[in-house]
Amino acid sequence: MLLAAQGLDSAPKRATKDDVRGTIRRMGVLQIDSISVVARSPYLVLWSRLGSYEPRWLDELLAEGALFEYWSHAACFIPIEDYGLYRRLMIDGGEKTRSWMRAHHEEIQHVMERVNENGPVRSAEFARTDGKAGGWWEWKP
C-alpha cells in the first residue's frame, strides 16, 4: 500500500509529460532540492517513479502554469489545482515576513551595506553577536 501510494509499486512504462504531472499530483508536492550528485533531487524522484522521461517536462509544466513553486514543508513544486489551498498561507506569510523585516530592520540594513560595499558575501563572513551557535546544521548525533 505504501509503495503504491508513492507510485513505486510497478515497473515504469514509457512516460509522458502528463505522467510527470500525474505523479506530482499523486504525491501532493515534489520537493525542490538543489543537491545534485547524479542529478537534482526532483528529477531523481520522478525518475524513480516513471523510469525514463524527459527532465525538461518538469520545467515546461512549471512554465505552462500547471505547477507553481511555494513553501509547503519545504520549497516544492505543487499542482496548480492546489493553489487555493496555499493562498491563505501566502497572504499570512507575507505579513509575517513584513513584520519580521520591520523588527530586524537594523540587521537587514547592516547586511545590505556589506553587500553594497563588498559585493557578494557568504553568511560565514558575518559574526554572531548573541553568542549562540549557528543552527541545526551544527548538530551531531
pLDDT of res. 121: 86
- What's the CATH fold of domain 2-80? Arc Repressor Mutant, subunit A (1.10.10)
pLDDT of res. 7: 63
Give me the average pLDDT of each 10-residue run along the chain (141 residues). Answer: 66 85 95 80 92 94 96 93 93 84 93 93 79 61 49
Q: What is the pTM of this model?
A: 0.66
CA-closest candidate to residue 109, choices 16, 5, 117: 117
CA-closest candidate to residue 60, choices 48, 75, 39, 46: 46
Report residue 107 as a C-alpha cell: 540587521
Cα dihedral 65→55→23→80 (10° resolution):
-10
